Chains A and B, each alone.
Chain A
Amino acid sequence: MKTDRVNAFTDGVIAIIITIMVLELPVPKAPGMAALKPEATLFAAYALAFIKVGIYWFQHHHLLQASRRVDGRVLLANLFFLFWLSLVPFVVRWVGEAGVTRDTVLAFGVIMLLCAVSVALLRAALLAANEADAPIRKLDARGRKGQATILAYVVAIPVALLWPMVAVAIYFAVAVMWLVPDKRFEQLTD
C-alpha cells in the first residue's frame, strides 16, 4: 500500500491535537504584569507541548518520506502512536488545573515515553514493510536519537517523583536534542 493516506490521516490528527491545546489557555483576569504571572507556567507548558508534538510530527514525516510502502502492521503502529500523542492536550489541561506538580510532570513523562516507544515500533514496522532499496533501510538502523529519547524519559519518570523540576529540565533537554536537523536524512531523501 502507498503512504499517501496514512500521511494525510496523521497530518489531520496531529493538526487537531496541536491546535486544540490553545483552548486550554486562560486569559489574564486583570491588566498588568502581575496578572500574567500565574498564566506563565501554563503558557510554558503549552509551548513545550507544541514543540514536542512538532518533533513527533517531524519524526513521522522523516520516517514516511524514507518509506516506499506501508502494510497493516504499519497502520496499527501508527494508530498506537496517534493514541498516545492525542493525550498531550489532556496533560496540558491538567497542568492548567493543578499546575506543575509531581503528578502532572509524571503524567507528561509517561505519555512522552509511550510516544517515543510507539515511534520506535512504527519505525520497526516500516523497516519490515520496505524493501532494501528504500531510503529508510539505509538510515541509521539503530535509531540512536530515538533510543536516547526513550532512555531520557525512563530516567525522567522516577526523577519526577522526587524532583519534578529536574524532570521538566530533562524534557526540555530532549527537545533541544531534536532541534538539530538530521542532514544525512535530508540528503538521502532528496
Chain B
Amino acid sequence: MKPDRLNALTDGVVAIVLTIMVLELKFPEEATLHAVMAVLPLLGAYLLAFIYVAIYWNNHHHMMQSAKKITGAVLWANHSLLFFLTLFPLMIRWIDEAGPTSWPVASFGLVLVGASICYVLLERALISAEGDGSGVKSALGGGMKERISFAGYVLALPVAFVSPLVSIGIYVAVAILWLVPDRRFERRL
C-alpha cells in the first residue's frame, strides 16, 4: 500500500489539532499590565504545544518522504501517534484552568511520552514494511535524539511534582533539540 492517504489523514488531523488549540486562548480581562501577565502562562503553554505538534509533523513529513510502502501495522502506529497528538489541546485547557501546576505539567509530559513511543513504533513499522533495503532505516541510524528526548520526558514526570517549572524547562530544552530539522532524511534525499 502507498502512503499517500495516510499522509493526507495525518495532515488533516495535525492541521486541526494546531488550529483548535487557539480556541483555548483567552483575551486579557482588562487593559492592564497585570491582566496581560495573567494570560502569559497560557500563551506560553500554547506556544510550547504548537511547537511540539509542529515538530512531530515535521519529523513525520521528513520520514514519510523516504517511506515507499506501508502496512496495517504502520496504519495502527500512525493512528496511535495521532491519538496522543489530539490530546495537546486538552493539556492546554488544563494548564489554563489549573495554571502551570504539578498535575497538568506532568500530564503534558505523559502525552509527550506517549507520542514519542508511538513515533518510535511508527519508525519500526515502516522499517519492517520495507525490509532490509528500507530508506527509513538507513536514514534513521541509531536514534540518539529519540532516546535523549524520551529520557527527558520520563525524568520530567516525577520532577513535575517537586517543581513544575523545572519540568517545563526540560520540555523546552528537548523542543530546542528538535527545532533543528531532521537532517538525516534531508541528506538522504
Closest to B88 in A: A22
How many whole Å from A121's CB to the nearest CB in chain B?
21
The answer to whether B69 touches A190, judged by C-beta atoms less than 8 angstroms apart, is: yes
CA distance A12 to B9 in the complex (A): 7
How many whole Å from A89's CB to the nearest CB in chain B?
12
CA distance A57 to B12 in the complex (A): 13
Chain A residues whose CB sits within 8 angstroms of the CB of B76 once the complex forms: 54, 179, 181
* Known contacts A61-B5, A190-B69; A16/B16 CB under 8 A: yes
The answer to whether A182 touches B72, judged by C-beta atoms less than 8 angstroms apart, is: yes
Chain A residues whose CB sits within 8 angstroms of the CB of B97 once the complex forms: 27, 29
CA distance A190 to B76 in the complex (A): 18
Q: Which of B8, B17, B94, B104 contacts A19 (CB 8 A)?
A: B17
The answer to whether A14 touches B75, judged by C-beta atoms less than 8 angstroms apart, is: no
Q: Does A58 contact B (CB under 8 A)?
A: yes
The answer to whether A22 touches B1, judged by C-beta atoms less than 8 angstroms apart, is: no
How many whole Å from A30's CB to the nearest CB in chain B?
8
**A contact residues, range:** 35 or more
Chain B residues whose CB sits within 8 angstroms of the CB of A72 once the complex forms: none
Residues 153-190 of A, flagged 1 when their CB comes within 8 A of B and 0 if not, give 00000000000000000000000000111110010011
The answer to whether B9 touches A11, judged by C-beta atoms less than 8 angstroms apart, is: yes
The answer to whether A57 touches B9, judged by C-beta atoms less than 8 angstroms apart, is: yes
Selected interface stretch from B43-51, B78-86, B133-141: B78-86
The answer to whether A19 touches B20, judged by C-beta atoms less than 8 angstroms apart, is: yes
* Known contacts A31-B102, A65-B1; A20/B20 CB under 8 A: yes
Chain A residues whose CB sits within 8 angstroms of the CB of B55 once the complex forms: none
Closest to B102 in A: A31
Q: A25-B90, A54-B79, A64-B5 are in contact. List 19 more A-B contacts (CB 8 A).
A: A7-B5, A8-B8, A14-B12, A16-B16, A19-B12, A19-B16, A19-B20, A22-B89, A27-B90, A27-B98, A47-B83, A50-B83, A50-B86, A54-B82, A58-B75, A61-B5, A180-B72, A181-B72, A190-B69
